[in-house]
Amino acid sequence: MRNVNALAIAISLPLAALAAESGKADRPVTFTKDVAPIFQKHCQSCHHSGTSAPMSLMTYNEARPWARSIKERVVRRDMPPWHLDKTVGIRHYKNDRSMSDDDIATVARWVDTGAAQGNPADMPPALTFPPDSEWFIGKPDLLVTTDQDFAMYPSGPDWWIDQFGEVKMPEDRWIKAMEIKPSNAKIVHHAVVYAIEPDAPEGTPEGGVMLHEFAVGKYGDIFSDNTGRLLKAGTRLRFDMHYFAVGSEQHNKTTIAFKFYSKGEVPKYQVRSIPIRNVPNDELDIPPNTVVRTDGYFRLPRNARIDAFQPHMHMRGRGMTLEAINLNNTTTILSSVDHFNFNWHINYIYSDDVTPLMPAGTVLHMIGIHDNTAANPRNPDPNMWAGFGERSVDDMVQVWLDVVYLDDAEYNKLVAERKAKSSLISRKQ
Ligand code: HEC
């Protein structure tokens, strides 16, 4: 309908009016009117002063010198960091910070047409960010801080190191929310915290199971209603830290904060973190100058709801896909990361109305792609063989899933609710 109207206007109006009609496309793109709102939505949570991001993008004067680099990163979809192939699998994520094609085009046009400021009166009111001292999740019930201070040299390559902290509490508790804060965020690119449980079942990775991750711009995670994860008394936490040098010696300790359900309260939906990897792990074989595919499988022992997907690879990691092999032998792609970047550990959290619901027996299939050629910009040395290992120059292939197991009654209920909702939506259209 709309296209037909546009066509009628195009035929009947003189050219000048036509330009006015099509609006934004033909008026100059300016920072204050067009770009600042996009930066507020997609960039400034990380790019404001005092964070580890390399520059602030709050004002025109701060952003202007970076225009060329901004266009490059945005068009390549390197910034904001969100590495999913948006054309396949599940499309809705709670923490999606990616940009629409329109917004990308606007930023590119702004740069291509001279990166003008525009009328200062068009500038939207400035955003404010919570002070570093504040916990986004609210007042924590428990804080666990790394035992040892870490000193980072003034200059040199990035540094990856494990630090540890102990969970000291008398009994197991159900986690409602978690948040990680380094004491010196300027030098911390990321922190991933793993739980090494006192009585972990056989086959659990030695380094523990994924608990939570931090990177600049991230302010904690709060579980959905009646959903939580068990933190066992006596758990040891492994903080997998990525530091970078900033020109002077710097120190850091990292703290993870927990909010719990009240004592004795047990959430109905219990999240566990499940890794899928190629077993045994030392089979990972990435010869020099090759692109290698590795597969891993996990058969769901019970009905399940999958809440989140987090690929884990190192520098040669290029892509990872998770698909379900259904009981009727069809396959469904759940999520696919097509431009993985080891600098970022992103947990892709499915929106509540699209979390995959899978019956017991469904096989989850992980496909990892490592690129050990010179075409991979993060490859430290394409002429070197790589295999499984903890060091960042070694590699890994594994996906962490947040899984909630469901009994038959609960599973059938959720499937029925989902069906009812989707038929409601299709009737509205
Ligand atoms: C989640 C936090 C985060 C968000 C959101 C984010 N950035 Fe970044 N950005 C970073 C960090 C950290 C770096 C430096 C490390 C890296 O490149 O991974 C960076 C690097 C960059 C660089 C490269 C700077 C250089 O040194 O050349 C540009 C340009 C950039 N960001 C632009 C943007 C723009 C534009 C947006 C929004 C459209 C954006 N970023 C959103 C965190 C973020």
For 38-61, write each residue's pLDDT tens digit: 999 999 999 998 888 899 999 999
202 and 257 fall within a common domain = yes
* pLDDT reading at 258 higher than 70: yes
188 and 225 fall within a common domain = yes
* pLDDT reading at 70 higher than 90: yes
Tell me whether residue 301 is in a domain: yes
Tell me whether residue 127 is in a domain: no
Residue from 234, 310, 241, 237 nearest 271 by CA: 310
How confident is the model at residue 120, as a pLDDT? 96
Quick one: pLDDT band at residue 200, thresholds 50, 70, 90? Answer: confident
Assess whether the previous peptide bond of 170 is cis (omega < 30° from 0). Answer: no
Pairing of strands 317-325, 209-215: unpaired
Contact assessment for residue 78 and residue 66, using Cβ atoms and an 8 Å cutoff: no
How confident is the model at residue 184, as a pLDDT? 92
Report how far residue 33's alpha carbon sits from residue 37's, in angstroms, rounded to the nearest whole number.
7
Mean pLDDT, the chain, integer: 89
Q: List, in order, residues 6 or more apart from 274 with CB less than 8 Å away.
A: 209, 298, 400, 401, 403
**One-character DSSP codes across 48-91:** STTSSSSS--SSHHHHGGGHHHHHHHHHTTTTTT--B-TTSS--
How confident is the model at residue 98, as a pLDDT? 96
Q: Give tens-digit pLDDT for 150-179.
A: 999 999 988 989 999 999 999 999 999 999
Mean pLDDT for the stretch of residues 105-116:
97
Quick one: pLDDT band at residue 425, thresholds 50, 70, 90? Answer: low
Question: How large is the greatest C-alpha to C-alpha distance in the chain, in angstroms?
Answer: 78
How confident is the model at residue 6, as a pLDDT? 35
Mean pLDDT for the stretch of residues 317-326:
96
Query: What number does the ligand 1 atom closest to the CA of 218 have?
Result: 1
244 and 138 fall within a common domain = yes
Q: How far is CA 58 from CA 61, 69, 84, 125, in A?
A: 9, 16, 26, 11
Q: Give tens-digit pLDDT for 119-147.
A: 999 999 999 987 777 898 999 999 999 99
CB 73 less than 6 A from any atom of ligand 1 = yes
CB 71 less than 6 A from any atom of ligand 1 = no
* Domain final residue pick, 243, 267, 291: 267
Tell me whether residue 81 is in a domain: yes
Pairing of strands 227-231, 269-277: parallel
Mean pLDDT for the stretch of residues 234-251:
94
For a mutational test of ligand 1's pocket, the pick from 40, 47, 190, 343, i.e. the residue with the most ligand atoms closer than 8 A to its C-beta, is 47
146 and 75 fall within a common domain = no
Mean pLDDT for the stretch of residues 199-227:
87
Report how far residue 53's alpha carbon sits from residue 51's, in angstroms, rounded to the nearest whole number.
6
How confident is the model at residue 408, as a pLDDT? 97
54 and 97 fall within a common domain = yes
Tell me whether residue 368 is in a domain: yes
Q: Judging by beta carbons within 10 Å of its beta carbon (0-12, 13-18, 19+), is residue 172 exposed, middle or buried?
A: middle
Give the highest mean pLDDT range of 15-19, 300-304, 379-383. Answer: 300-304
Residue 104 C-alpha to ligand 1 middle, in angstroms? Answer: 14
Residue 420 C-alpha to ligand 1 middle, in angstroms? Answer: 41
Mean pLDDT for the stretch of residues 240-249:
92
CB 319 less than 6 A from any atom of ligand 1 = no
> Structural domain tally of the chain?
3
CB 47 less than 6 A from any atom of ligand 1 = yes
Residue 85 C-alpha to ligand 1 middle, in angstroms? Answer: 19
294 and 427 fall within a common domain = yes
Tell me whether residue 29 is in a domain: yes
How confident is the model at residue 424, as a pLDDT? 67
Residue from 171, 257, 172, 243 nearest 211 by CA: 257
Domain encompassing residue 148: 132-267
Residue from 169, 296, 290, 148 nearest 231 by CA: 169
CB 41 less than 6 A from any atom of ligand 1 = no
Residue with CA nearest ligand 1 atom 26: 54
Quick one: pLDDT band at residue 25, thresholds 50, 70, 90? Answer: low
Residue 189 C-alpha to ligand 1 middle, in angstroms? Answer: 12
Q: Give tens-digit pLDDT for 363-374.
A: 999 999 999 999
Mean pLDDT for the stretch of residues 373-401:
87
Report how far residue 64's alpha carbon sits from residue 35's, in angstroms, rounded to the nearest whole number.
11
Mean pLDDT for the stretch of residues 180-204:
90
* pLDDT reading at 405 higher than 50: yes
Neighbouring CB atoms inside 10 A of 57's CB total 21
Which residue matches tokens 């892509």?
A: 319
Q: How many CA atoms lie within 13 A of 73 on its CB side?
A: 14
Quick one: pLDDT band at residue 426, thresholds 50, 70, 90? Answer: low
Tell me whether residue 373 is in a domain: yes
How confident is the model at residue 395, as a pLDDT? 84
For a mutational test of ligand 1's pocket, the pick from 72, 77, 79, 347, i.e. the residue with the most ligand atoms closer than 8 A to its C-beta, is 79
* Domain final residue pick, 267, 286, 315: 267
Tell me whether residue 22 is in a domain: yes
CB 46 less than 6 A from any atom of ligand 1 = yes
* Relative orientation angle of helices 67-75 and 101-112, to the nearest 10 degrees: 150
Residue 79 C-alpha to ligand 1 middle, in angstroms? Answer: 5
Residue 14 C-alpha to ligand 1 middle, in angstroms? Answer: 43
208 and 297 fall within a common domain = no
Residue 97 C-alpha to ligand 1 middle, in angstroms? Answer: 12
Backbone φ and ψ of 64, nearest 5°: -50, -45
303: domain CATH number is: 2.60.120.230
Backbone φ and ψ of 351, nearest 5°: -65, 150
Query: What number does the ligand 1 atom closest to the CA of 63 have?
Result: 35
90 and 170 fall within a common domain = no
Residue with CA nearest ligand 1 atom 7: 80
Mean pLDDT for the stretch of residues 406-410:
96
Residue 235 C-alpha to ligand 1 middle, in angstroms? Answer: 35
415 and 282 fall within a common domain = yes
Q: Give tens-digit pLDDT for 323-342.
A: 999 999 999 999 999 999 98
27 and 147 fall within a common domain = no
How confident is the model at residue 345, as a pLDDT? 86
Q: What percent of the chain has pLDDT over 70?
A: 91
Mean pLDDT for the stretch of residues 366-388:
92
Quick one: pLDDT band at residue 24, thresholds 50, 70, 90? Answer: low
Residue 56 C-alpha to ligand 1 middle, in angstroms? Answer: 9
106 and 208 fall within a common domain = no
The H-assigned helical ranges of 101-191 are 101-112
* Domain final residue pick, 199, 232, 267: 267
Backbone φ and ψ of 278, nearest 5°: -85, 120
Residue with CA nearest ligand 1 atom 23: 69
Backbone φ and ψ of 335, nearest 5°: -150, 150
Task: Please tell me which residue, 256 or 377, carries the higher pLDDT value.
Answer: 256
239 and 275 fall within a common domain = no
Report how far residue 282's alpha carbon sits from residue 137's, in angstroms, rounded to the nearest whole number.
39
Tell me whether residue 284 is in a domain: yes
Report how far residue 216's alpha carbon sits from residue 188's, in angstroms, rounded to the nearest whole number.
8
Which residue matches tokens 């077993």?
A: 279
How confident is the model at residue 19, as a pLDDT? 39
